[in-house]
Structures are given as C-alpha cells and as structure tokens.
C-alpha cells in the first residue's frame, strides 16, 4: 500500500463525535511512551502527523486521520503511567473502552508493546480484556532498533511464552522500528489485505 494522502480530521473524547462510521478504522494504542506517535508518523511517511512528546501521556484525545480518503487511522491515548490525577485517568480509560467496544467500523486494534521490556502485566491484562470482548487486535513490538537481534528474539519469545499460558495461539504480530522503518510494509500490507477482504 502506498500512502498518498494523510490528513487530520478530528480530536475528541466523545465516541458520538467521531467521524461517520462509513470507512474501515484501524486504531493504535499502547502504554505511555511506547513510541506510538513515532510509529504513526513512520507508517504515513509524515514527520509530524502525530505529535511526539518526551512526556508520557501526551495524547489525551481520540485522534482521527483519514488515509488515502479510504480508511481512518486512529491515535488513542496511552494507558498506564501518566502524570495526571486518578479522576482524569479513570475518565480516559472510560472513553477509550467505550470507543473500543462501541465503534462498529473498528476493523483492528494495534496494541503496541515496547520490545525492550519483559512481559508487562498491564499489557497482558489489556489484551486479555480485548480477547474476552472479542475485539480483533494485533501486536506491534516497537523500538526493535534499540536491541541486538538475539535480545529482540529472546524478548519476543518470552512474550509469546507468557501469552500462550492463556491464549490458544498468538494474535498476528509485527516487529517495528520508527527510526529504521522496519515493519512499515508488513503493517500496511496487513491493513490493505483486511480492507480488500472486507469489501
């Protein structure tokens, strides 16, 4: 897939104010500081489509971007650590979960995992919730360039082993590096294939 056009449409915290659900939608979510904005910019070949910040928890809204006038890429707030109060964090989690459960044109949720770390309970619990709610999702292991190949392989194997304690099989997964562009073609091809088969 070649991305010829990518433009911002709307930001909000109200699912009812999202664009009409008339196009396939692919959302990206992960723990704060997992490299989500960098990944989105890498996928779209736009340097600043999604705002990048060194501060965890910068994304606080549901951000819709229209790609090639055909499908929506959605940047969701991260979960986990963020320097915000408990009340606001609970409000975040509520509208994120409402979006995931109610958005009828959500074709796939990409869950971003920092490949440098051991399996984190917060990620595993979130994916287990997605499974229970029958939400289609895939995993993107980010920041692969920060590890040696053998370290990366060991960490991903560790994640697979941990998930297969509960899951019958692994969901689709990808390895990415926003710096080197790794995973870009595979992820976009995956989206393209879903779009084609769902027409």
> In this structure, are residues 82 and 57 in contact, taking their beta carbons and an 8 Å threshold?
yes
10-residue stretch averages of pLDDT, the chain, 199 residues long? 94 91 97 91 91 55 94 89 63 86 96 95 94 97 97 96 95 97 98 93
Tokens of 144: 């692969």
Q: For the chain, which residues make up each domain, given as ranges?
A: 6-197
DSSP string, 38-51: HHHHHHHT-TTSSP
Length of the chain: 199
What is the pLDDT at residue 52?
Answer: 59
Tokens of 17: 């104010």
Buried b / exposed e along 95-121 (16+ C-beta atoms within 10 A): bbeebbeebebbbbbbbbbbbeeeeee
Question: Token match 């287990």: residue?
Answer: 128
Whole-structure pTM value: 0.93
CA 178 – CA 22 distance, rounded (Å)? 30
pLDDT in tens, 7-55: 999 998 888 999 999 999 999 999 988 999 999 999 999 988 887 544 4
Topology given in CATH for the domain delimited by 6-197: Rossmann fold (3.40.50)
């Amino acid at each position: 897939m070649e991305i010829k056009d990518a433009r911002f449409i709307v930001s909000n915290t109200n699912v009812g104010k999202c664009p009409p659900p008339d196009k396939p939608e692919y959302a990206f979510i992960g723990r704060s500081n997992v490299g989500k904005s960098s990944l989105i910019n890498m996928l779209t070949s736009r340097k600043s489509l999604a705002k990048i910040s060194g501060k965890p928890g910068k994304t606080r809204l549901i951000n819709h971007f229209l790609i090639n006038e055909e499908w929506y890429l959605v940047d969701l707030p991260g979960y986990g650590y963020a320097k915000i109060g408990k009340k606001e964090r609970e409000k975040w989690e509520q509208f994120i979960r409402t979006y995931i459960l109610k958005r009828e044109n959500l074709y796939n949720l990409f869950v971003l995992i920092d490949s440098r770390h051991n399996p984190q309970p917060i990620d595993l619990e979130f994916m287990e919730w997605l499974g229970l709610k029958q939400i289609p999702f895939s995993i993107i292991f980010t920041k692969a360039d920060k590890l040696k190949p053998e370290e990366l392989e060991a960490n991903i194997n560790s994640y697979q082993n941990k998930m297969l304690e509960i899951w019958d099989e692994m969901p689709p997964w990808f390895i990415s590096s926003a710096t080197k562009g790794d995973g870009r073609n595979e992820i976009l091809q995956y989206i393209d294939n879903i779009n084609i088969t769902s027409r």
